[in-house]
Amino acid sequence: MSDDPHDDHSTFIKTPKQLIAAVVAFFAVVILLPVMFSQLVTAGRRAAPDEEMTAKLIQPVARVEMAAGGGAVTAKGAKTGEQVVAAVCGACHNAGVAGAPKVGDNAGWAPRLALGLNGLTKSAIAGKNAMPPRGGGADLTDDEIARAVAFMANKSGASFKEPPVAAK
Ligand code: HEC
């Protein structure tokens, strides 16, 4: 039994030491937690420059591969039908992807050949059903498309004259 009634109302902080401990604990929660949290967040952000760096490091390889693909080697508009088919059209027409008439499938091409080289070229430039305009080769010239059409059709029962590549 205590004589002092104030004892019942006192807080858990009774000594200066406890006060200091309470203040330290308070700052630990209020200051350290946000600092730790923000470090977590910036650690996540630090991954971004690394990705940029990786992209820069592999870029030369990607460039060389593009050049090897023929894009940078042949002047614009100067690709033969064979080159255009190898670079663009063959992606679908070599294997008959998505219903594309396969190179060498005479029966598949026969009804289309009635359109003639010009008609088929127009069709390829405009795109048809699953085939995007210009077969997806947006930088191909009309002549290059015509050469590619002639190249594929001639391997599939037609005897079109492939438009010549202009002499340089
Ligand atoms: C993404 C796949 C794809 C690519 C790439 C592609 N084609 Fe096609 N092509 C098709 C499909 C599918 C059809 C059949 C369309 C139909 O009749 O429904 C087609 C049809 C054609 C036809 C017949 C059109 C007609 O009116 O019957 C020609 C000609 C043709 N393509 C030329 C080309 C040329 C030239 C290229 C390259 C520059 C090319 N295609 C690239 C998918 C492709």
pLDDT, averaged across the chain: 83
Q: Are 77 and 144 in contact (CB under 8 A)?
A: yes
- The pLDDT, as a whole number, for residue 60 is 60
Pocket around ligand 1 at a 6 A CB cut-off: 84, 88-89, 91-93, 97-101, 112, 115, 120, 123-124, 128-131, 134-137, 140, 145, 148-149
Q: Which atom of ligand 1 is nearest to the CA of 145?
A: 35
Q: Express each pLDDT in 58-82 by its tens digit.
A: 666 555 555 555 445 678 999 999 9
Segment 102-139, tens digit of pLDDT: 999 999 999 999 999 999 999 999 999 999 999 999 99
Contact 136, 93 (CB under 8 A): no
Give the pLDDT mean for 86-115.
97
Q: Which residues contact 156 (CB under 8 A, 6 or more apart)?
A: 101, 102, 103, 104, 105, 106, 108, 109
- Whether residue 56 has pLDDT greater than 50: yes
Phi/psi of residue 31, nearest 5 degrees: -100, -50
Which pLDDT does position 84 carry in this prediction?
Answer: 98
Smallest CA separation from ligand 1 atom 32, residue? 124
pLDDT of the residue at 32: 72
Amino acid of residue 30: V
